A = this chain, B = another copy of it.
Amino acid sequence: MSAVETMAPTRAEVEAYLHAQIPISAAMGVRVVEASESGVRLRAPLEPNINHQSTVFGGSAAAIAILAGWTLLHVRLNRTGPESRIVIQNTYVHYDAPIDGAIEVVTRPPDPVAWDRFTRTLERRGKARIEIGVDLEQDGARAGGLSGAYVVMLEE
């Protein structure tokens, strides 16, 4: 098990990967607080994501939450399988409270049964779809949520 775990990218590697591959994440000041197969937590300061009300722009919040879901899949699939392509198919985001400081987003653990079905479908068909839930938070208090459907395709 430890041999497999060393394949998982570190927190710093994931952050460098996001900033290099999705440069708007660097402009948003996204930091990777945690990135393991059990969950991903990203954080971004208010300033680069501020809106006309001095709170986090809803578009930034959606973008960071989409990144978190994507990162969870990236970490989990990198750890266990071949190269894969992760594409967002649809998202629903609800905003429950304004965030007037740093935003944190944290993935909810996928249901184990759904995850098992997802990975078996991916192996069998080379393509599968899964829903990932992400909470939006400020100082540990929930401020909204995202539910995103991601499609994963194994690279040829």
Which residues of A are in contact with B by a Cβ distance under 8 Å? 21-24, 27-28, 48-53, 57-60, 62-64, 66-67, 85, 87-95, 98
Contact = CB atoms under 8 A, between A and B. Distances in A.
A22 B23 CA distance: 18
Contacts of A59: 22, 24, 62-64, 66-67
A48 B24 contact: yes
A60 B63 contact: yes
A89 B62 CA distance: 12
Contacts of A22: 50-52, 57, 59
A58 B21 contact: no
Contacts of A63: 57, 59-60, 62-63
A89 B97 CA distance: 9
A50 B23 CA distance: 7
A63 B60 CA distance: 6
Contact of A90 (B67, B90, B92): B92
Contact of A91 (B62, B67, B87): B62
B48 A23 contact: yes
